Amino acid sequence: MDLLDTTAEAEFREVVRAFINEHGHKGKRADGDNEEEALNRHELKAWRAALVERGWVAPAWPKEYGGAGLTIKQQFVLNQELAEHGLSNVGGLGASYFGPTLLVHGTEEQKQELLPGILSGEVMWAQGWSEPGSGSDLASLQTRATRDGDEYVINGQKIWTSGAQFADRMYLLTRTDPDAPKHRGISLLMLNMRQQGVSVRPLTTMDNRQPFNEVFFEDVRVPVSDRIGEENRGWYVGMTLTDFERSDIGSNVAVRHTLASALERAKTASEEQVRGRESGSWRHAFTERWIEGEVSFLFAFLNVSIQDSKMVPNYEASMAKLFLSELNQRVSLINHRLLGLYGMVWDGARDDAANGTYARAHLGSVSSTIAGGSSEIQRNIIATRGLGLPRG
């Protein structure tokens, strides 16, 4: 694992920075629960057009599929610089997770049909993974897809589906063989979210947002041609996608920025505004979080190095996800405590600059050790696949 840029990567980093200087103002995000809210439509269209022209919505995709044909390390540099400047790559789940999985497991016809819509932004995707009774133990899912000639008929429910209220299509795991062992009777299908029989109900989280939904399927028909991979082998396709999901640099950069912002507040605000900073225990804890932020960054480098070697991160991705999600909670707590009692105020705090920010962040961090696979599941993956320990 080489932490330094090669000459070519350093040159590319300068190209990215020049691009950001020219176009970055179009992609600056405000607070919002999704891309459509964070950027107005005109700015979003202009920012996407600038990225599409460069092939940077999906930079490591082959050029024949609309990407830039960049190396994994170059893609890492691009995403790192965008995150450092507070910019969003507008590809969403389609470009980050589903598209790379489609390139590995999809047919040529599926690639030609689906990838252009991801790049252009004409098609937004949601992920149908968890169910009310199948979260951490995802392989126990019960949403059923029954074969009926050239179609599947889907009945069941998904939950915690990020952005489903805005999505045009969903990729989801369904049970196609109820008699097979739970990991072997699952298929990955794609469906139109606008068709009859699909119902979406937003869920309000404790920090008063609606990023997630529950989705119901009642006799929803999907062509067999909209299956990714072999029938009953969808679990393994889905795990490829999950490994891409757990390999992320943007979140690591966000931790750095959050800590840097808190440090600046601790140094410049009055004692009344940041009562926690005088505590020796708070200072020691903050120092620990800062060091852990650097460790988290190294996990990201590890995963990109694995991808750069033409492999898909497995337990290494779980290590990164586990460490980062638990670090997010520790960071939110230390920042929350910086303000003392003001850290609990939701609205109307005397310090307007921190008007509920830390309280919302603290509440929002609760789900980080559950979403994308709970910490318990990540530890099991690390134990069995990484350390070779027997299953309990």
pLDDT grade, residue 262 (50/70/90)?
confident
For residues 313 and 275, state if they share a domain. Answer: yes
Share above pLDDT 90 across residues of the chain, in percent, rounded to a whole number:
51
Residue 36 has pLDDT above 50, yes or no: no
Q: What is the CATH number of the domain that holds 180?
A: 2.40.110.10
* Whether pLDDT at 246 is above 50: no
Are 259 and 330 contacting, i.e. CB atoms less than 8 angstroms apart?
no
Q: Are residues 211 and 286 in the same domain?
A: no
Is 71 inside any structural domain? Answer: yes
Q: Could you tell me if 370 and 261 lie in one domain? A: yes
Which CATH number belongs to the domain containing residue 375 in this structure? 1.20.140.10
Max distance between CA atoms of the chain, in angstroms, equals: 71
Whether residue 96 lies inside any domain: the answer is no
Using the 3D structure, point to which of 90, 112, 143 is the last residue of a domain.
Answer: 90
151-183: b (≥16 Cβ within 10 Å) or e? bbbbbbbbbbbbbbbbbebbbbbbbbeeeeebe
Task: Give the Cα separation of 132 and 122 in Å (integer).
Answer: 30
Same domain assignment for residues 278 and 331 = yes
pLDDT of residue 251: 85
Nearest to 36, CA basis, from 242, 210, 203: 210
Beta carbons of 301 and 367 less than 8 angstroms apart: no
Q: Are 371 and 264 in the same domain?
A: yes
The whole-number pLDDT of residue 341 equals 75
What mean pLDDT do residues 182-192 have? 95
- Please answer whether residues 364 and 205 qualify as being in contact, where contact means their C-beta atoms are separated by less than 8 angstroms: yes
**Predicted local confidence at residue 155, as pLDDT:** 98
Domain boundary among 34, 67, 90: 90
In tens, the pLDDT along 317-373 reads 899 999 999 999 999 988 888 887 777 777 654 555 466 778 888 888 998 898 878
Query: What was the pLDDT predicted at 295?
Result: 94
Is residue 165 located within the same domain as residue 251? Answer: no
> Do 213 and 340 sit in the same domain of this protein?
no
Q: What is the pLDDT of residue 35?
A: 47
User: In this structure, is residue 239 part of a structural domain?
Assistant: no
Mean of the per-residue pLDDT values for the chain?
87
Q: pLDDT band at residue 33, thresholds of 50, 70 and 90?
A: very low
Q: 168 and 79 in one domain?
A: no
Q: Return all residues near 136 (Cβ < 8 A) that are at least 6 apart.
A: 370, 373, 374, 376, 377
Active site residue 245: yes
Structural domain boundaries, residue 223 = 125-232
Q: For residue 102, is pLDDT > 90?
A: yes
Share of the chain above pLDDT 70, in %: 91
Q: What's the whole-number mean pLDDT along residues 80-97?
A: 86
The predicted model gives 270-286 an average pLDDT of 81
pLDDT at 200 over 90: yes
245, 264, 272, 278: the active-site residue = 245
**Residue where one domain finishes, among candidates 200, 232, 264:** 232
Task: Look at the chain and report how many structural domains it folds into.
Answer: 3
Question: 142 and 80, same structural domain?
Answer: no
> 228 and 259, same structural domain?
no
Per mean pLDDT, which of 22-31, 198-207, 214-223, 238-247 is the most reliable? Answer: 214-223
Q: What angle do CA 181, 184, 190 make, to 5 degrees?
A: 135
When pLDDT is cut at 50, 70 and 90, the band that residue 203 belongs to is very high
On whether residue 263 sits in a domain, the answer given is yes
